[in-house]
Structure 1
Amino acid sequence: MRILIIKLGAFGDVLRTTCILKGLKKKYNAEILWFTKEKDSELLLNNEFIDKVITDAKKLGEYDLVVSLDDEAGKIVSKLKRKKIIGCFDSKYTADSSEWFDMGLISRFGKQKADELKKKNKRTYQQILSEMLNVEIGEYVFNLTDEEKRFGEKLDGKIVGVNTGSGGRWSMKRLNVERTVELIKKILSLDVKVVLFGGPEEKERNKKILSKVDVIDAGCDNSVREFASLINQCDVLVTSDTLAMHLGIALKKKIVAFFGPTSAAEIELYGRGKKIISKSDCYCCYKKTNGDCDKYISVDEIFNAVKELM
């Protein structure tokens, strides 16, 4: 039996979808292939449950089951030779996947109702996929090699990682510079090392933070797997709803995750973390810009959560 999983991006979404792999392998004992974008394929390296990663649609073949979780690939899916499909195809989706796609961009109810359903949802992504696929859901599957782990080992001691940015597309997910500095000062009182994380789009932002507090700079030009290796050294990771959060979950770190425009309910921390949710009336609005979600996220709540997890 051959199973094809389709999840193209973004990084965090690809990573969290690995939670279905162990259950699929256990249920079907099948060959599992994964179709994704080239840049996202790094996250699927060294994965014992994936037999092959495909990044070129021309190399797709014939499958017994297609698990299609990305509406962006709908047209590709509709042309595939397959015996069964679960998920989306050509702007539509199967009945058994409706709980998930009813809340998305291709919802049969339209965007307004989809957004309402998203805000009302109380189930994790894992719970929804478990029912959709009728499989047991496990942890994320992400493995660093010994050599990759050594990259991060330059960080030692008791470490709290701080990743309060959110790249360029989702400015409303982040905690602003002033409130990040306030948070770091509080964390430093716990007699720990604080490591500041960020990506290429956060260089200038992080420079401002580094000019105001004495913390370790993880740099903003790490590869995805180098970034993961550095996160792997953290005792606690404070993070927005970004790739850093998903890597922390995958690496079984203690997490303090804060949420403004996106759903906290969807995220499974596997009993190793705490969620801090914006008190704003527009929480879970899924707006990427032009908002003030971070004003309604309590720095004290984040700090107290860090203290509890240390």
Structure 2
Amino acid sequence: MKILIIQKKFMGDVLVTSTILPLLKEKYLDAEISFLLEEKYAQILIGNPYIHQVIFFKDSLKGTLSEIRSEKFDLVIDLYSKLETALITYFSGANKRIGFFKKYTQFFYNYPVKRTNQVKSKNTTLGIEHRLLLLEPLGIPFQEAFPKVYLTDEEIRNAHEVLAKSGLSENDPLIMISTFGSSEEKTYPLAYMAELLNYIASYKPASKILCNYLPSQKHLFEELLTLISAETKKLVVQDFDTKDLRQFAAVTRLCKCLIGNEGGATNVSKALGIPTFTIFSPHIQLSDWAWSSRPDVDRFLHVADFVEGAKGYPDFKPFFLKDKLEKFLEKTLV
């Protein structure tokens, strides 16, 4: 049986979509599962043992559809469910076509599935459970499932080399920081993040702090350095850098925990099984992305939990987080 999964873009969405792959393989033991997405998001799927091949969107809809039709898929599951992917699904030639119910796309699927607003498990989220819903037409019942990132031995060896360049090893207590979000509205204010770093640095035993950020955010990191204390600055590894998502994931795998802004970094950390302390942007709902396969240690904080009627990040004072942060560090820095 040949199965095509479609999730066009966004690292977090592609990662969460991968939760359905082992369940499909369990149902269809002989299945060849292909994944259609934009090429720049494919890093997160490297090493996934359930994927037979990865297919990239072409420059034109005609080019993409031509390749999909040539593969002769039996089943297409469209998790993106926009007009473009609905058309690809419909004209794919597959006998079974599953996607999310929308007024303008429902006609392209044999099985248009309506989303629900109620989660079935406190450890998953709507982001995960909506994807699991698309398996129900195949007779695959709901069960807890979580994303997983697969690293190679070579990537782990390379991560050791990256740390060694900064005079570090996995024997050092290392804390990874998701320093900034992907946009300003998803970034905890710099002055507040500086206070959190000071809290982390004051916790004993002292840990080395690795600050992850995009090349375009280097100026923000340099500004952040001017806001932290001299003692904190001694613990921040200032020459640390990773060249891509895979290298970041491998280095994070060697850390005690990850702390910081919700986004790709926190989702990768959780998918690696690393204890994760997530600060949610005011406009992101916990019910969408606060999933955890380790609910005993992972922590999710939202301003709405502290300030009734909060307007935004200015209300999310660092001292609200301090007690929970210290308890998190107490659990993870052992």
Give yes or no for TM over 0.5: yes
Q: CA RMSD in A?
A: 2.7
The structure whose residues are more often strand, as a share, is 1
CA 1:201–1:37 in structure 2 vs 1: closer, same or farther (change >3 Å)? same
Asked if the contact 1:273/1:309 (under 8 Å) is kept, the reply is no
Shift in Å, 1:96? 5.5
Q: Which residue of the other structure, out of 64, 76, 89, is the alignment partner of 2:88?
A: 76
CA 1:242–1:294 in structure 2 vs 1: closer, same or farther (change >3 Å)? farther
Per the alignment, residue 159 of structure 1 pairs with 174
CA 1:7–1:281 in structure 2 vs 1: closer, same or farther (change >3 Å)? farther
* Inter-partner Cα distance in structure 1 for 2:20 and 2:196: 35
More moved, 73-82 vs 62-71? 73-82
Q: Which residue of the other structure, out of 207, 212, 234, is the alignment partner of 2:222?
A: 207
Matched, 1:253 2:279: no
Shift in Å, 1:304? 3.0
Calculate the TM-score normalised by the size of structure 2: 0.76
Per the alignment, residue 216 of structure 1 pairs with 237
CA 1:55–1:186 in structure 2 vs 1: closer, same or farther (change >3 Å)? same
* Inter-partner Cα distance in structure 1 for 2:75 and 2:182: 35
* Inter-partner Cα distance in structure 2 for 1:96 and 1:33: 21
Matched, 1:150 2:157: yes
Shift in Å, 1:137? 4.7
Asked if the contact 1:276/1:301 (under 8 Å) is kept, the reply is no
* Inter-partner Cα distance in structure 2 for 1:40 and 1:9: 6
Per the alignment, residue 299 of structure 2 pairs with 274
Shift in Å, 1:221? 6.0
SS of equivalent to 1:143: coil
Letter in structure 1 aligned against 2:11: F
* Inter-partner Cα distance in structure 2 for 1:301 and 1:86: 46
Per the alignment, residue 185 of structure 2 pairs with 172
Identify unmatched segments of 5+ residues in structure 1.
Answer: 101-116, 284-290
Asked if the contact 1:77/1:89 (under 8 Å) is kept, the reply is no
* Inter-partner Cα distance in structure 2 for 1:233 and 1:8: 30
* Inter-partner Cα distance in structure 2 for 1:282 and 1:81: 50
Deviation readout 1:212-271 (Å, 9 max, x if unpaired): 341014756621111112221221111222110111011110011121211212331112
Asked if the contact 1:199/1:221 (under 8 Å) is kept, the reply is no
Per the alignment, residue 22 of structure 1 pairs with 22
Asked if the contact 2:79/2:131 (under 8 Å) is kept, the reply is no
Per the alignment, residue 132 of structure 2 pairs with 130
* Inter-partner Cα distance in structure 1 for 2:308 and 2:78: 33
Identity, in percent, stands at: 23
Shift in Å, 1:187? 0.6
Per the alignment, residue 42 of structure 1 pairs with 43
Asked if the contact 2:100/2:134 (under 8 Å) is kept, the reply is no
Letter in structure 2 aligned against 1:293: Y
Identify unmatched segments of 5+ residues in structure 2.
Answer: 58-63
Q: Which has the larger radius of gyration?
A: 2
Matched, 1:296 2:308: no
Asked if the contact 2:100/2:112 (under 8 Å) is kept, the reply is no
Letter in structure 1 aligned against 2:191: E
Asked if the contact 2:78/2:89 (under 8 Å) is kept, the reply is yes
* Inter-partner Cα distance in structure 2 for 1:199 and 1:282: 32
Deviation readout 1:98-128 (Å, 9 max, x if unpaired): 116xxxxxxxxxxxxxxxx699x97613333
